[in-house]
Amino acid sequence: MMSMKCQNLDFSRLGPDFAAFGFSYNASFDRYMIGKRCNGVPRAVQNGYGAQRLFCFRQDIGATEASIEGVAPIPAPLEEVKTGSRSPISLVNLFELVADDLIILNNNLQSIVGADNPVLMSAAEQIFSAGGKRMRPALVFLVSRATAEFVGLKDLTKEHRRLGEIIEMIHTASLIHDDVLDESDMRRGKETVHQLYGTRAAVLAGDFMFAQSSWYLANLENLEVIKLISQVIKDFASGEIKQASSLFNCDVGLDEYLTKSYYKTASLIAASTKGASIFSGVNSDTSEHMYQYGKNLGLSFQVVDDILDFTQSTEQLGKPAGSDLAKGNLTAPVIFALDKEPKLRNIIDSEFCESGSLDEAIELVKRCGGIEKAQALAKEKADLAIQSLQCLPSSSFRLALEEMVQYNLERIE
Amino acid sequence: MLSMTSHNLEFGRSGLDFVACGCSSNASYLVRNSSKGVLRRVKYEFGARKWLCFRRDFGSCRVVSTKTPEAFVNENPVLMSAAEQIFSAGGKRMRPALVFLVSRATAEFVGLKELTKEHRRLAEIIEMIHTASLIHDDVLDESDMRRGQETVHQLYGTRVAVLAGDFMFAQSSWYLANLENLEVIKLISQVIKDFASGEIKQASSLFDCDVELDEYLIKSYYKTASLIAASTKGAAIFSGVDSDVCEHMYQYGKNLGLSFQVVDDILDFTQSAEQLGKPAGSDLSKGNLTAPVIFALEKVPRLRDIIESEFCETGSLDEAIELVKSCGGIERAQNLAKEKADLAIKSLQCLPQSAFRLALEGMVKYNLERID
């Protein structure tokens, strides 16, 4: 199910070219497309994040043909990545280094989840095909490859791959339950699982995925990783509770917000990156740096998400805008704004009982610099993340990891 | 929160006494202090079944409470209330009791004098998993009552129930991981996977009259026996006994669990709502076809029609229940329960004679007595 919009064909012939895997938000699950190589014609693909262009280069290594079914040859690490004129970073660009790893992952996920039951299968389809970026597994694969270089590992191990699957299952399960807990109807522009199939199916689908991921985790037989990931699952639950307990609570401070963001978002990402490095067999300092990278990237990511909830439209978000605030979930922009604007507190305390008060609150947040301060916070965490990558040797993978951080920040430029 | 109903204090001084992790149905986790020379009998909710509790004769030993509620204390008042609701609603604590009994029975084997902290933690984990599954089960079944009290989701809403269940699963996974025993981690992770598979299996075959006994037994294994088998095997693993004995403990737990589930399914037909603590015949009314029904379906074609109608006509549920009773479905299910019980007893043969082994046999018999 391909849908590519081609614009601005660019010719380029730089060293090893590679076919990029792009996806558009409106495609379904099989959307990791492989641009078929046609001699000399690269394609640009427009993806959902507002007209960012992906430059696709074609592979110039023997008679290689990328096909959707087959597994494309893993591109050799690039000596340098030249993208010609600097365009905004796109995820696709970043992921192309690990694109076939992601394809394998997608196939495995579908078969793991869908095997038992048609309703589960549909529920899985619903959530798996609803435009997930696969950022977490991509991080696992990028860190795996970046650290593998370090120790001379030539290819990903099956533990690396399984870790990617586990992480994505846990993430997806948490989304399904989150939507039940938040009573959300829409996610990524589509109806949520529980909206479509009912609460029972959503609870069951989430439980099933958590259970599957626990089982696969146990069978990785690595105690350190088992403990790492179990901590994450515990953190998820704690994060939900923390959030549920402090709705509409204007006394929530920045630290508490960061703790909650750690529990809900950064913990999993940190465990992904650390876990990947553990399976590469690097020393514990490096693993710790990978943890810090993941953690700060995760925090930065969450802050950006929270900003976008104010600055993007419903259409762009795939769900109602301002929904965090509407539900009483006070995030970075609001917390900063509350410092400046006492009126905001009153409105929030009223829990938006008056019509128009939510819009007024959003305006206040925007007007008094809440967004800007949150942006600064996101940048601060991003810088910490970049710093943690210093321990890795330069490579296209490390570059991609840095660009992940940049990509995230660009979402709010 | 101790509340024990003590009856018939008896004095006993057998060699190895132990304090059983028994609890009365109106208390939350109990800590029992041993007092020399006092044998207590505690009355249980299930119609005057008596637990024989022996006291420990090795210094100041004490069966510690499973501390699970503390895990909730600092988190959130609503969660705390939800936890209270389910923990205080009369659970028998059968699974932790089994862990402790098997622990002690196998410990003897290898000369272990005291339960390890892994044994105790295992019991806590097992009970947390069990409780979490009950909370989610009630959401999935849309049940309003359990053990004579309102279910968590009835009282606090679906959201709290989902969250409380998730939290408990998460806590138990974390404690499990920190036991640092790969064999037990894999064992219990399999159980959690089996729970989910069992729910799916059940949900997929509601009102399906072609469900066979084998499928029913698999589903019962997933939903009930798997956890019990993992409890008993896990306890044996932490005692350090050899793998044959572990395997026997697994079989004991599995067959006890199956027997237990069959008995539960019989009681759903034979007990009143009051005795059950929830509406009678609720399995059947939800389309969950259990042993008595499966046997009855072989004899009475009419039953199939009624079930397939999904009881749309008033009185049809009662008629179905009558049919099941009148054509011997209950009796055949009783035989099945007994068959599994016998297998369970057999698996205990590998253990040396002791009060603990006796108590494990007693567990099997206690279960069968529920349907005498």
For residue A208, the chain B residues in CB contact (below 8 A) are 196-197, 199-200
Domains located in chain B, CATH noted: 77-370 (1.10.600.10)
Report A:164-183 residues touching B (Cβ under 8 A).
177, 180-181, 183
Q: Is A247 on the interface with B (CB under 8 A)?
A: no
Question: Closest approach of chain A CAs to the CA of B185, in angstroms?
Answer: 6
CB contact under 8 A, B195 and A120: no
Handedness of CA A80, A2, A111, A132 (dihedral sign): positive
Q: Which CATH number fits domain A91-411: 1.10.10.60, 1.10.3720.10, 1.10.600.10, 3.40.50.720?
A: 1.10.600.10
Q: Give the single-character DSSP code of B25.
A: T
- What are the beta bridge partners of residue B52? B41
CB contact under 8 A, A204 and B200: yes
CA distance A147 to A290: 9
Look at residue B17 in the predicted model and tell me its pLDDT: 28
Look at residue A223 in the predicted model and tell me its pLDDT: 96
For residue B73, the chain A residues in CB contact (below 8 A) are none
Look at residue A180 in the predicted model and tell me its pLDDT: 84
Read off the amino acid at residue B121: R
Question: If you measure CA to CA, which chain A residue comes closest to B77?
Answer: A245
CB contact under 8 A, B192 and A236: no
Other CB atoms within a 10 A radius of the CB of residue A228 amount to 21
Look at residue A348 in the predicted model and tell me its pLDDT: 94
Mutual angle of helices B355-369 and B94-110, in 10-degree steps: 150
CB contact under 8 A, A180 and B162: yes
Look at residue A224 in the predicted model and tell me its pLDDT: 96
CA distance B355 to B58: 15
CB contact under 8 A, A226 and B185: yes
Q: Which residues of B touch A (CB under 8 A)?
A: 75-76, 78-79, 136, 139-140, 142, 158-159, 162-163, 166-167, 169-171, 173-174, 176-178, 180, 182, 185-186, 189-190, 192-193, 195-197, 199-200, 203-204
Other CB atoms within a 10 A radius of the CB of residue A1 amount to 10
Look at residue A262 in the predicted model and tell me its pLDDT: 96
CA distance B112 to B103: 9
Look at residue A279 in the predicted model and tell me its pLDDT: 95
A vs B, Cβ pairs < 8 A, gives 120
CB contact under 8 A, A214 and B171: no
The 3-state DSSP class for residue A7 equals coil
Predicted confidence (pLDDT) per residue in B198-207, tens digit: 888 888 889 9
For residue A264, the chain B residues in CB contact (below 8 A) are none
Q: Is A117 on the interface with B (CB under 8 A)?
A: yes
The 3-state DSSP class for residue A14 equals coil
Which stretches of chain A drop beneath a pLDDT of 70?
Answer: 1-86, 114-116, 128-132, 188
Residues B245 and B132: beta-carbon distance below 8 Å: no
Residues B37 and B57: beta-carbon distance below 8 Å: no
Residues A2 and A33: beta-carbon distance below 8 Å: yes
Q: pLDDT above 90 covers what percent of chain A?
A: 48
Instruction: Name the residue facing A203 among B140, B177, B185 (closest C-beta).
Output: B140
CB contact under 8 A, B189 and A215: yes
Question: Closest approach of chain B CAs to the CA of A212, in angstroms?
Answer: 6
CA distance B293 to A326: 50
CA distance A171 to A269: 10
Question: Closest approach of chain A CAs to the CA of B196, in angstroms?
Answer: 5
Label residue A328 exposed, middle or buried (CB < 10 Å: 0-12, 13-18, 19+): middle
B201 Cβ contact list (under 8 Å, min separation 6): B215, B218, B219, B222
CA distance B330 to A26: 56
CA distance B61 to B56: 6
CB contact under 8 A, B200 and A244: no
**Long-range contact pairs involving B3-7 (C-beta distance under 8 Å, separation at least 24):** B3/B27, B4/B30, B4/B40, B4/B42, B5/B42, B5/B43, B6/B40, B6/B41, B6/B42, B7/B41, B7/B42, B7/B43, B7/B50
For residue B170, the chain A residues in CB contact (below 8 A) are 230, 233-234, 236-238
Question: If you measure CA to CA, which chain B residue comes closest to A229?
Answer: B174
Instruction: Name the residue facing B163 among A219, A227, A240 (closest C-beta).
Output: A240
Question: Closest approach of chain A CAs to the CA of B148, in angstroms?
Answer: 23
Instruction: Name the residue facing A181 among B142, B159, B204 (closest C-beta).
Output: B159
Q: Strand runs (DSSP E) across A185-277, as ranges?
A: 186-187, 190-191
Question: Closest approach of chain A CAs to the CA of B337, in angstroms?
Answer: 29
CA distance A281 to A153: 9
Return the domain boundaries, chain A: 91-411
CB contact under 8 A, A203 and B136: yes
CA distance A55 to A51: 12
Predicted confidence (pLDDT) per residue in A368-398, tens digit: 999 999 999 999 999 999 999 999 999 999 9
Question: If you measure CA to CA, which chain A residue comes closest to B136?
Answer: A203
Q: What's CA B307's distance to the chain center, in Å? A: 28
- What are the beta bridge partners of residue A34? A21
Other CB atoms within a 10 A radius of the CB of residue B11 amount to 8
Question: Closest approach of chain A CAs to the CA of B130, in angstroms?
Answer: 14
Read off the amino acid at residue B53: C
Starting at the edge strand found earlier in the chain, the sheet holding B39-43 runs B6-10, B39-43, B50-53
Which stretches of chain B drop beneath a pLDDT of 50?
Answer: 1-69, 73
Consecutive H or E run containing A279: helix A267-280
CA distance A175 to A187: 9
Question: If you measure CA to CA, which chain B residue comes closest to A233?
Answer: B170
CA distance B66 to B111: 24
Q: If you count them, how many residues does chain A have?
A: 413
DSSP B234-291: HHHHHHT--HHHHHHHHHHHHHHHHHHHHHHHHHHHHS-HHHHTS-TTHHHHTT---H
Question: Closest approach of chain B CAs to the CA of A236, in angstroms?
Answer: 8
For residue B166, the chain A residues in CB contact (below 8 A) are 177, 210, 236-237, 240
For residue A233, the chain B residues in CB contact (below 8 A) are 169-170, 173-174
CB contact under 8 A, B189 and A217: yes
Question: Closest approach of chain A CAs to the CA of B153, in angstroms?
Answer: 12
Instruction: Name the residue facing A211 among B79, B186, B192 (closest C-beta).
Output: B192
Output Rg (C-alpha) for chain A, integer angstroms: 21
Residues B288 and B307: beta-carbon distance below 8 Å: no
CA distance B29 to B366: 22
DSSP A225-250: HHHHHHHHHHHHHHHHHHHHHTTT-T
* A47 backbone dihedrals φ, ψ, rounded to 5°: -110, 180
Nearest residue to B104 via CA among B291, B358, B367, B363 = B358
CB contact under 8 A, A180 and B158: yes
Question: Closest approach of chain B CAs to the CA of A253, in angstroms?
Answer: 18
Q: Which of A116, A224, A230 to mutate to test the interface with B (most CBs of B within 10 A)?
A: A230
CA distance A314 to B273: 50
